[in-house]
């Protein structure tokens, strides 16, 4: 079946601009995760959803970052007033349930100029 998909694959934003990144998890997957991956580093946890409930947002770096999953499937990560330090690859992952394998999407590469 189809894997995790993300859009856009690439996004260039001017500093101060708002951006929205979309994640389509594997159909039926209950858990959805967002990670931020800086160049040459491992993914860092941002936030986690169980169905539509955002159960952990401890990794969001500031209140400019906001994520939602209103119907328990597609999720959107929004970054307001982007800064240069927000430049990174944003990865989405989904798993069938708690404790199961996480499958990653291809990521959205964000460049803030």
Partner 1 sequence: GENVEQHPSTLSVQEGDSAVIKCTYSDSASNYFPWYKQELGKRPQLIIDIRSNVGEKKDQRIAVTLNKTAKHFSLHITETQPEDSAVYFCAASIRNYGQNFVFGPGTRLSVLP
Nearest approach, Cβ of 2 to partner 1 (angstroms)? 14
Nearest approach, Cβ of 103 to partner 1 (angstroms)? 7
The reply on whether position 103 binds partner 1 by CB under 8 A is yes
Q: Which CB sits closer to partner 1, 34 or 112?
A: 34
Q: What is the DSSP string of the chain?
A: ----EEE-SEEEE-TT--EEEEEEPPTT--EEEEEEE-TTS--EEEEEEETTEEEE-TT--STTEEEE-TTSS-EEEEESS--GGG-EEEEEEEESSTTSPPEE---EEEEE-
The reply on whether position 31 binds partner 1 by CB under 8 A is yes
For partner 1, the binding residues (CB under 8 A) are: 4, 31, 33, 35, 40-45, 48, 50, 55-56, 58, 91, 95, 98-107
């Amino acid at each position: 079946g189809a894997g995790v998909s993300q859009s856009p694959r690439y996004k260039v934003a001017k500093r101060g601009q708002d951006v929205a990144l979309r994640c389509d998890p594997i159909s039926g997957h209950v858990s959805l995760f967002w990670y931020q991956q800086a160049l040459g580093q491992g993914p860092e946890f941002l936030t986690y959803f169980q169905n539509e409930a955002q159960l952990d947002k401890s990794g969001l770096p500031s209140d400019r970052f906001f994520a939602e999953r209103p119907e328990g499937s597609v999720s959107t990560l929004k970054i307001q007033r982007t800064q240069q330090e927000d430049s990174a690859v944003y990865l989405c992952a989904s798993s069938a349930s708690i404790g199961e394998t996480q499958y990653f999407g291809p990521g959205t590469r964000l460049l803030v100029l």
